[in-house]
Amino acid sequence: MRLTGKMPVPQKEKMNATFYISAAVAVLSTILVIVSRRAVHALLYFIVSLLAVAAMFYVMGAPFVAMLQVIIYAGAIMVLFLFVMMMINLGVDVRGPEQAWLRPSRLAGPAVLAGVLVAELVYVLAAGWKHSAAPVEVPPEQVGLAAFGPYVLGVELASLLLLAGLVGTYHLARGRREDKSPKEEQPR
């Protein structure tokens, strides 16, 4: 357990400012998620929201969870969303609209919000804060010890849940392929 409470107070207050800026970015981008017209735009804003929440995790002394948020949530799960959107778009001829959706002007909003987060990141790195502002940062070792100590039953249940999800997804995807073949023979 690292003690990082030795830093001077002004730095901590600046670190607090990064928390509130990240919170503002998260709330703003989440609002933009639910008012977006196109699902792709909503997805871009939601990724920004996830990154902002990851920054909040980091400031609150949970760097391991912040990494997980970026890698698993903003990485893997959002890529799943993106793939499904691409597969759905294949059915309709949307080549024209797609180019319009991805105009630079449509990307400006997420880019500006992500730029705020990048500015925070550069600021934190430039200030040389290796650890978060929380007096006691909970390290990954402690999380692992808790997960496989008192919460080992929960980990087993999570593995069961993952297996159920795998079987369920396989079943749904296989059923789709089976009744897809007779339909494709019909002229459209």
Partner 1 sequence: MTTVPMMHAMIVAAILLGLGLTGLLVRRNIMFTLLSIEIMLNGAGLAFIAAAAHWKQADGQVMYLFIITMAAVEVAVGLALVLQMYHHLRTLDLDAASSMKG
Q: By CB under 8 A, which span of 93-101, 102-110, 117-125, 131-139 interacts with partner 1?
A: 131-139
Q: Closer to partner 1 at the Cβ: 67 or 121?
A: 67
CA 115 to chain centre: 16
User: Which residue has 């998620």 as its token pair?
Assistant: 33
DSSP 114-179: HHHHHHHHHHHHHTT--S-SSSEE--HHHHHHHHHTTTHHHHHHHHHHHHHHHHHHHHHHHHHHHT
List the interface residues with partner 1, window 89-118 (CB under 8 A): 91
Decide if residue 70 touches partner 1 (CB under 8 A): no
Please count the CA atoms within 13 angstroms of the CA of 72 that sit on its side-chain side. 6
Instruction: Please check whether residue 131 is in contact with residue 1, taking contact to mean a CB–CB distance below 8 angstroms.
Output: no
Rule CB under 8 A: choose which of 21, 44, 51, 69 binds partner 1: 69
Please count the CA atoms within 13 angstroms of the CA of 161 that sit on its side-chain side. 6
List the interface residues with partner 1, window 43-62 (CB under 8 A): 43, 46, 49-50, 53, 56-57, 59-62
Binding site for partner 1 (CB under 8 A): 12-13, 15-16, 19-20, 23, 26-27, 30-31, 33-34, 39, 42-43, 46, 49-50, 53, 56-57, 59-62, 64-65, 68-69, 72-73, 76-77, 80-81, 84-85, 87-88, 91, 133-136, 138, 142-143, 145-147, 151, 154, 158, 161-162, 164-166, 168-169, 172-173, 175-176, 180
